[in-house]
Chain A
């Protein structure tokens, strides 16, 4: 776990206004690994992701984050309302030394990869659907060519087919360039398809109640494997306990 270039978090604790949200979280992602963070709503997944990405300084704990170019997809898309889809993707590149032509071509090709054509690219956020906004946010993150990618429910506003496609895009991109990925999701199948390890956060304050690893290489995971894996995981007592408050209302 403590290999070169790995992300390591140890003893992370955080609270808001005196209320503890995360307690004693330890985790690691080896370079190029994909970690899924699962858990019921309000268990602190977004908070943990922001801490891992360096947007939030935890009250206690240490983070080793040996990355140069992090990129986020936030739970809210957080697009600039006064920029078109194209302008929003370009905004993520503002910190990089690229020629204008290079920037434009990167923006265009990334928008096409997330399924937004030339006409969509000229629309403002308020003219886009929820799923289109999410895809613009994904394109903005991928265009950066990050070495550390943080995804907060990046595929949740998409229909099944599209969300599978976007997952594929992220997986291939991550594999090709050896990107380290942390992704938050409430969709177990998404975790099983993409991640090679997962942690389950639960309780208040949130603690890691389960650690899973999914060993088969991602490209060999067919639907049957995913189904079987989901069944195996949901049968685990600690998983059921973690999600029980949600299930029983």
Chain B
């Protein structure tokens, strides 16, 4: 079981290339370290040691859990609300006319502005991070869901109507697969953004999490520790993407295998 998970993390058959990419990044990092010194860019090894210290000191675990909670709760709210409203906007012109400008405005507001506002509204509670993530990421999901729902094949809809297929089966068999092909890539992007916004919010609220740790590391002017936190958040993002988003994508897109332009 753990072996399978590691394989997934490394990306199956393309593992070697992924490893090569990683080696190049670490190599560049090491070169940067040698050029600029410990203070600007601690070596990969020093970062790893700092990460180990964070883990041993009992800071890493709770911080990771808090950040995961903040990012995922916001992401889930964004996904539910975004797909629901997006689906509505894709099917109904008035709904689209009403919601589309709203989404455009929300996308235009910088994520950091949401963080500041939610701090004012929710204070230092964890809710601030959840809220920031949800409003920053929701509109992305909304746009993808609306686009997906709007472009469902009219012929297939007519066909389903002709066979008097009930609404439930129509949603599951006609709408969902098409909408998901638009939605899943957007969800990948949205998830990545969720971590960033969550960390940003934590940095300002000081209510725990990786962001809080970053703020502390900055106060101590400890660059190795800062880098260690960065490594932690990136690793977290990759793990969640590989273990959750990727398998879901695979499951829903098996039928695409062998389509022109798709890998076999």
- Among the listed A72, A82, A83, A94, which residue makes an inter-chain contact with B162, where contact means beta carbons less than 8 Å apart? A72
Query: Is A55 on the interface with B (CB-CB < 8 A)?
Result: yes
Per-residue contact bits, chain A 61-84, to B (CB 8 Å; 1 contact, 0 not) = 000000001111010101011110
- Are A72 and B258 interface neighbours, CB within 8 A? no
User: Interface residues of B toward A: which range?
Assistant: 10 to 19
User: What distance in Å separates the Cβ of A56 from its nearest Cβ neighbour in chain B?
Assistant: 9
Instruction: Please list 12 pairs of residues, one from A and one from B, whose beta carbons are closer than 8 Å in the complex, sorted by A's number.
Output: A55-B158, A70-B162, A72-B162, A74-B155, A74-B158, A80-B173, A81-B255, A83-B173, A83-B255, A94-B163, A94-B169, A126-B258
The 8 Å CB contact of A80, one of B156, B259, B260, is B156
Inter-chain CA distance A80–B255, complex, in Å, is: 10
Contact with B along A204-230 (1 / 0, CB 8 A): 000000000000000000000000000
CB distance from A78 to the nearest CB of B (A): 4
B7 at the interface (CB under 8 A from A): no
The answer, yes or no, to whether B3 is at the interface (CB within 8 Å) is no
Q: Which of A76, A78, A91 contacts B173 (CB 8 A)?
A: A91
B236: which A residues are within 8 A, CB to CB? none
User: Shortest CB–CB separation between residue B25 and chain A, in angstroms?
Assistant: 37
Partner of B163, one of A71, A76, A82, A127: A71
B contact set with A: CB distance below 8 Å: 155-156, 158-166, 169, 173-174, 177, 255, 258-260
Known A-B contacts A82-B177, A126-B259, A127-B258; the reply to A76 vs B155 at CB < 8 A is yes
Question: Do residues B177 and A92 form an inter-chain contact, with CB atoms below 8 A?
Answer: no
Residues of A within 8 A of B158 (CB): 55, 74, 78
Inter-chain pairs besides A78-B155, A78-B159, A144-B163, 11 sampled, C-beta below 8 Å:
A74-B158, A78-B158, A82-B255, A83-B173, A91-B160, A92-B163, A94-B165, A95-B165, A95-B166, A124-B258, A126-B258
Expressed in whole angstroms, the Cα–Cα distance for A76 and B158 within the complex equals: 12
Q: Tell me the complex Cα distance, A83–B159, Å.
A: 14
Are B173 and A124 touching (Cβ within 8 A)? no
| Chain B CB within 8 A of A203 CB | no
CA distance A69 to B162 in the complex (A): 9
Q: What residues of A have a CB within 8 angstroms of the CB of B258 in the complex?
A: 124, 126-127
In the bound assembly, the distance between CA atoms of A70 and B160 in angstroms comes to 12
Residues of A close to B177: CB separation below 8 A: 80-82
Asked if A44 is an interface residue, CB under 8 A from chain B, the answer is no
Q: State whether the Cβ of A39 lies closer than 8 Å to any Cβ in chain B.
A: no
Contact among A53, A71, A94 with B166 in the assembled complex (CB-CB below 8 Å):
A94
What chain A residues lie within 8 Å of B155 (beta carbons)? 74, 76, 78
Q: Which residues of A contact B161 (CB under 8 A)?
A: 55
Q: Which of B159, B164, B166, B169 contacts A74 (CB 8 A)?
A: B159
Residue of B nearest to A75 (CB): B155
Query: Are B156 and A78 within 8 A (Cβ)?
Result: yes
Which of chain A's residues have a CB closer than 8 A to the CB of B160?
91
Closest to A54 in B: B162
Minimum distance in angstroms from A124 CB to a CB of chain B: 5
Partner of A95, one of B163, B174, B255, B259: B163
How far, in whole Å, are A55 and B160 apart by their CA atoms in the complex? 11
Instruction: State whether B166 touches A72 (Cβ < 8 A).
Output: no
Closest to A93 in B: B163
For the complex, give the distance between the alpha carbons of A126 and B261 in Å: 12
CB nearest to A126 among chain B residues: B259
Cross-interface CB contact of B165 among A78, A83, A91, A126, cutoff 8 Å:
A91
CB closest residue in chain B, given A96: B164
Residues of B within 8 A of A140 (CB): 163
Q: Which of B173, B255, B259 contacts A94 (CB 8 A)?
A: B173
Contacts of A69 in B (CB 8 A): 164
Query: Residue among A81, A82, A83 with the most chain B CB within 10 A?
Result: A82
Q: Once bound together, how far apart are the Cα atoms of A125 and B260, in whole Å? A: 13
Which of B163, B173, B177 has the largest count of A CB atoms less than 10 A from its CB? Answer: B163
Closest chain-B Cβ to A102's Cβ sits at a distance in Å of 17
Q: How far is the CB of A143 from chain B (nearest CB, A)?
A: 10
How distant is A69 from chain B, measured CB to nearest CB, in Å? 8
